[in-house]
Amino acid sequence: MAFAIELLIAALLVIGAFFLLVGSIGLAKLPDMMRRLHGPTKATTLGIGAILIASMINAWTVRGFLSLHELLITIFLFLAAPITAYMIAKAHILHDRPTEEALPPTGTGAPWMTLSAPEGESIRDPNRESDRDGDGTTSQRA
User: Minimal distance in Å, beta carbon 109 to other proteins?
Assistant: 26
Nearest to 49 by CA among 78, 11, 87, 88: 78
> Cα torsion at 97, 102, 104, 108 (round to 10°)?
30
Nearer to other proteins, 29 or 111 (CB): 29
- Sites of contact with other proteins (CB under 8 A): 6-7, 9-11, 13-14, 16-18, 20-21, 23-25, 27-28, 33, 36-37, 39-40, 43-44, 47-48, 51-52, 54-55, 58-59, 62, 69-70, 72-73, 76-77, 80, 83-84, 87-88, 90-92, 94-96, 123-125, 127-128
3-class state of residue 135 by DSSP: coil
Instruction: Kindly list the distances between the CA atom of residue 23 and the CA atoms of 13, 19, 77, 83, in Å, as whole numbers in the listed order.
Output: 15, 6, 15, 18
Shortest Cβ 128–other proteins spacing (Å): 5
